[in-house]
Structure 1
Amino acid sequence: MKKAKSGSGKPRSQIAALPIRRSPTGEPELLLVTTRTTRRWIVPKGWPIKGKKNHEAAAIEAREEAGVIGKAHKKPAGRYIYWKRMNDHFVLCKVALYILDVERRLEKWAEHNQRLSHWFTLEDAAEIVDEPGLKAAIRSLELN
């Protein structure tokens, strides 16, 4: 499989949610999901949605991929770059990460049978994800 950038040579933009809740002790926890193909742990992410602001699109991805509803912050909490696996090549993507303060979890959602999901401490989440940029972004999160 070859690596190929998007037509302009620039990375393609993606948006992602960082679904956050507080544990009973008040410690922040991050909800990760697995990819559908390789089963690696990631955050819910996707392409921008026409007619939606990026933070709104991130909230939609979180609902579809992780079954969580909440309020997305309007400004990105971080960014990272990674190679997205396509059918016959890879595409370089720059991901904007939006914190989603989780208010509730659905019993069923669009991809509940396609992905695993689990709440992790920020430290454990940073350890379990593969993408170096996502690891660094999780480690640099500053939550009140």
Structure 2
Amino acid sequence: MTTQAPISLNGGQKDDLRIQFAALCWRRKRGKLQVLLITSRGSKRWIIPKGWPMEGKTPAASALVEAWEEGGVVGQARGQCLGVYSYAKVAADGTLPCLAMLYPVKVKALAKHFPEKGQRKRMWCSRRKAARLVEAPDLARLIRDFDPRSGGLTR
């Protein structure tokens, strides 16, 4: 896994903004749209898969790799970014300000075995419930407004 050099906003300070790519994993079950949430490894909060840019991969492809590693998602990512949200990533040396670009991933299946299987839980839920469970307000809005029929967001 390659990590991204910080985007220099303060002349290369430790607290410079980092960019991540996130996957909004979705499916339809009995005609209802569902979103996949996973738990974080440390605090066990409900989140979506996300990670650092990967050399040689598009942002959407990077989001799909994270969805596989963190949630066992087998699916297809679309190239269009749904929007961005910010959050503070807790790291060993403090918190890092991050901006995550969100990409839709249509889930075909969930694998029984995947790289972070023993470290995370998965849960399918409605957009409304998912929006209530995630902490980042901007992410909650993006989840709540997501509509795959319109190519992304309802608003």
TM-score (norm 1): 0.91
Q: Residue 18 of structure 2 aligns with which residue?
A: 12
Among residues 83, 99, 120, which one is paired with 2:125 in the alignment?
120
Residue correspondences, number: 138
Q: Which runs of 5+ in 2 are unaligned?
A: 1-5, 10-15, 150-155
Distance 1:83 1:105 in 2: 28
Deviations along 1:67-93, one digit per CA (max 9) or x if unpaired, are 011110101112101111111311111
Among residues 32, 35, 43, which one is paired with 2:37 in the alignment?
32
One-letter code aligned to 1:19: C
Q: Secondary structure at the match of 2:147?
A: coil
Q: Secondary structure at the match of 2:148?
A: coil
Distance 1:27 1:35 in 2: 26
Among residues 33, 46, 50, which one is paired with 2:51 in the alignment?
46
Distance 2:27 2:47 in 1: 17
Distance 2:103 2:55 in 1: 17
Q: Which runs of 5+ in 1 are unaligned?
A: 1-5
Range that drifts further, 7-16 or 133-142: 7-16
- Summarize the alignment of residues 67-86 of structure 1 with structure 2, pairs less than 5 Å apart: 67-86=72-91
Superposition RMSD in Å: 1.2
Contact 2:36 2:122 in 1 (8 A): yes
Q: Secondary structure at the match of 1:113?
A: helix
Residue identity over aligned pairs, in percent, reads 38
Q: Secondary structure at the match of 1:37?
A: coil
One-letter code aligned to 2:19: S
